[in-house]
A and B are shown apart, each in its own frame.
Chain A
């Protein structure tokens, strides 16, 4: 059993017992030279906030679209003393999150947590935790489409020129179209941002509710796109500005109901259908935040 078949869907594989960290494969799965190559890309990305750095994306033991970019970034920066958390759409207990967490648990043996404040390294799919991040924490995003202009300008050679010359009229064409069609800027996720007053960046498909959290965030934010082979970064305390028009500025979503489990009114809510009759429930998408509030006693009926 040399091949680490780590992402089998069932919870109990015999390997779980037999494989200790580093025993049959390298620490964090990737070989050291690959990690070094990815770290070089990450350093460059940090040096040029928002710039998409190409890297030699490796084949991972899971399909594209499941977080191969994020996993490679995580594998390159994780160390034995890290405390690791994975969220998928805000939740610690969804299939994607559980499997990625277990992957690194087995391949590194690092401490695992669900508490945002205790984690030193958080890999995320499509959310930024509700609890504020702090200095020293690293947030790794999984990115499906790193190029914010791809839908409008399919030629990559051209989008690279547009980035290099900071010709970003195209991004506002997209927002203009939204207003012309819907009367307001209808993009609710993957809302384009201007990083450090220089590069337009796709924040990965996080809801635009989370966009303001990126601005001047004390944590290091890394973005990995496995299929597109790009890494980019927002270093701590970097300006992240949301695009908009003077008469149609950027706005975040709001709900007219609180979370029905913890009563929070300031979080991003998921709408969950609870039975066949179509009964709906609004609850926090950040499971850890919601749980903490419940334990602290801020519970709704």
Chain B
């Protein structure tokens, strides 16, 4: 069975828990993610969304449970059983991580072109002209004017920075991207463009996405499936439309009814 076939999940999260001292940050969370699927993790601040994301992205070892990823050459593998070198290689080739604050994911004082090219240079690309061509292509794909290639992200607007961060992550054609509140902090029109872009990339690249958001509108627009978190536990999960239209858990009902209608 090839790992890319749709009969195997891309990521399998099984019963992961995480405590910070006496505080329970994450309580036995489980889910599967399939190739090309967008999964939204929603919940209020402090509900464990970001802990869950960091744990499945090999950034924060869980106290219990397993996180398995279908690597390109051979099935599901426990990411915490891998060596640090393997984890990091995975993180900068087959994965992407989009931070809420673009400054965390970008090198703010080097040019946009170098930001996009860094992963490739790390993989051994040594041709300046080709790196530049790839960077130009990617800037255009994320709707950044190609003549801004030598500008640093410090000179970019918030929306441009976020798109640059996405380009930097996608240049190695990853199969899975983790996103932590990628649209918060952007104004609504910029948000809409970014969401459009993400939908396009998801469709064209068969990109699986785990997106953490507190914005149910973002989840409805992007996500195929949702998990709702409350006090460190997954309280409900299912298809996005189903979950938003017919929430079962009291907390989900509260969450859905709290959305302001313009």
Contact = CB atoms under 8 A, between A and B. Distances in A.
Interface of A: 152, 161, 165, 167-170, 172-173, 176-177, 179-181, 244-248
A186 B259 CA distance: 55
Interface in B188-225: none
B252 to A, nearest CB: 40
Given A168-B122, A247-B129, A177 B114 contact: yes
A173 B111 CA distance: 9
B39 to A, nearest CB: 29
Q: How large is the interface on B (under 10, 10 to 19, 20 to 34, 35 or more residues)?
A: 20 to 34
A245 B132 CA distance: 12
Given A179-B128, A248-B128, A152 B123 contact: no
A173 B114 contact: yes
B121 A181 contact: no
B22 interface: no
Contacts of B150: 180-181
B128 A176 contact: yes
Given A173-B110, A180-B150, A247-B127, A167 B117 contact: no
B84 interface: yes
B23 interface: no
Interface of B: 84-85, 88, 107, 110-111, 113-114, 117-123, 126-129, 131-132, 149-150
B88 A167 contact: yes
Given A177-B111, A180-B150, A246 B126 contact: yes
A245 B122 contact: no
B127 A245 contact: yes
B107 A247 contact: no
B102 to A, nearest CB: 17
Contacts of A246: 126-128
A169 B110 contact: no
A36 B113 CA distance: 48
A232 to B, nearest CB: 22
A173 B128 contact: no
A173 B126 CA distance: 11
A252 to B, nearest CB: 19
Contacts of A176: 111, 113-114, 117, 121, 128, 131
Contacts of A161: 84
Nearest to A185: B128
22 contacts: A167-B88, A168-B122, A169-B119, A169-B122, A170-B118, A170-B122, A172-B126, A173-B118, A176-B111, A176-B114, A176-B131, A177-B110, A180-B149, A180-B150, A181-B111, A181-B150, A244-B126, A245-B126, A245-B128, A246-B126, A247-B128, A248-B128
